[in-house]
């Protein structure tokens, strides 16, 4: 595809195990973390698709030049929260696409 993916270096699943979580539409979440290489790159969209027991995450970024002061090359950390389908149960492979084809794959379990 032709997307500019964010440079994701890690993905962590956040399980809400509180008693009321079963009915919470945001009970299954994950956090994408990494560093942009400048202060003009930002998230544009995060596409989530489900294929059998695989969850594909496409963290799409974009470069927006600043009119004032321009862009500077610096490490800009990010933590992007992504809400998943609350009905997920069982084992899943999470496949996160990342910049330069460096995908991250993790096996997770949803209760």
pLDDT at 21: 58
Model pLDDT for residues 15-69, shown as the tens digit of each residue: 765 666 566 667 799 999 999 999 999 999 999 999 999 999 999 999 988 767 7
Taking 80 as the threshold, does the pLDDT of residue 83 lie above it?
Answer: yes
The whole-model pTM stands at: 0.87
- Do residues 105 and 95 lie in contact, with contact meaning Cβ atoms separated by under 8 Å? yes
Return d(Cα 91, Cα 50) in angstroms, integer. 13
- Do residues 93 and 67 lie in contact, with contact meaning Cβ atoms separated by under 8 Å? no
State both tokens at 30.
Answer: 């994950």
What percentage of the chain exceeds 70 in pLDDT?
90
pLDDT at 70: 81
């Amino acid at each position: 595809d032709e997307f500019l993916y964010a440079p994701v270096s890690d993905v962590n699943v956040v399980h809400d195990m509180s008693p009321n979580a079963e009915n919470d539409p945001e009970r299954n979440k994950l956090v994408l973390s990494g560093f942009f290489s400048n202060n003009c790159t930002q998230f544009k969209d995060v596409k989530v698709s489900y294929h059998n027991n695989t969850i594909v995450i496409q963290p799409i970024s974009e470069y927006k030049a600043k009119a004032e002061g321009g862009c500077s090359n610096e490490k800009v950390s990010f933590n992007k929260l992504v809400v998943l389908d609350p009905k997920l149960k069982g084992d899943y492979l999470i496949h996160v696409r990342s910049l330069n084809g460096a995908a991250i794959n993790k096996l997770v379990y949803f209760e």
